[in-house]
Amino acid sequence: MNQVIELIQSHRSIRKYKDTPLTNEQVETIIQSAQMASSSNHMQAYSVIGVTDPNVKKRLAILAGNQVYVERCPLFLVWCADLHRLKVACSLQDTEMVAGTTENFIVATVDTALAAQNAAIAAESMGLGIVYIGGIRNNPKEVAKLLHLPELVYPVFGMCVGMPDHDPGQRPRLPLELIYHENRYDPEKAKKGIEEYDQMMRRYYLNRTHHSRDTTWSKEMAAIMRQPNRKHLRSFLEGQGFRLE
């Protein structure tokens, strides 16, 4: 173990923040760290919008499902997959970009996620806390309008950043043997491993909620996966120029 590994393995989602604003140096360091993430073919197909305006944060909090910590965090980062900048680069070379492919959509989304995780680790190394906000995709059309996102840009997720004002416990992860397979995928490990993990998570939920929440991981996942979620996303993405062909 070294300090970097200890930092990564101590991650917790922070949802309460002190009012202390981030310095310009902190913000620049976070974004510069994000920029050093791996990127497919050096495309760097993402952009980040830092939101500090209280009115904009309040609106984003509502659009993300009334998540109050979006409004109350000192800095809210909206991570966007961005093919618009690449279209401009192609135009400078008198080339028409083929934007509407599933591959380009995946590249931009993955680039965004890799950069964001670099940013999260950088923020946590400075004593700050973060939480990802997938709810930014609840109303993507309204978010895009609010943030003036051009064609070929879409909001992948948000990220609250700030000085932690609480000390939440870590949520147990799946056992390593369920995640890591050697040489080939072993589907036989899933059932027994999940049953054991369910018992661990049941104890976690009971302890965290003072016995008011009796549930398991598979029960929570079944509730999420039994129905399609955010069915509006495809039409929104197509409206932004992502044809997914």
Give pLDDT tens digits for 226-241: 999 999 999 999 999 9
For residue range 30-62, list pLDDT tens digits in order.
Answer: 999 999 999 999 999 999 999 999 999 999 999
The CATH fold of domain 3-168+228-239: NADH Oxidase (3.40.109)
Give the burial string for 212-231 (b: 16+ CB within 10 Å, else e).
Answer: eeeebbeeeeeeeeeeeeee
- For the segment 65-102, what is each residue's pLDDT rounded down to a tens digit? 999 999 999 999 999 999 999 999 999 999 999 877 89
Residue 126: burial class (beta carbons within 10 Å; 0-12, 13-18, 19+): middle
Give domain limits for the chain: 3-168+228-239, 176-214
Per DSSP, helices labelled H in the chain are 3-9, 24-35, 54-63, 68-72, 84-92, 102-125, 140-146, 176-179, 190-208, 217-225, 233-239
pLDDT digits (tens, 9 = 90+) for 97-115: 987 789 999 999 999 999 9
Amino acid 243: pLDDT: 81
Distance CA 204, CA 232 (A): 34
Q: 191 near 173, Cβ under 8 Å?
A: no
Helix, strand, or coil here: 195?
Answer: helix
- Average pLDDT of the residues of the chain: 96
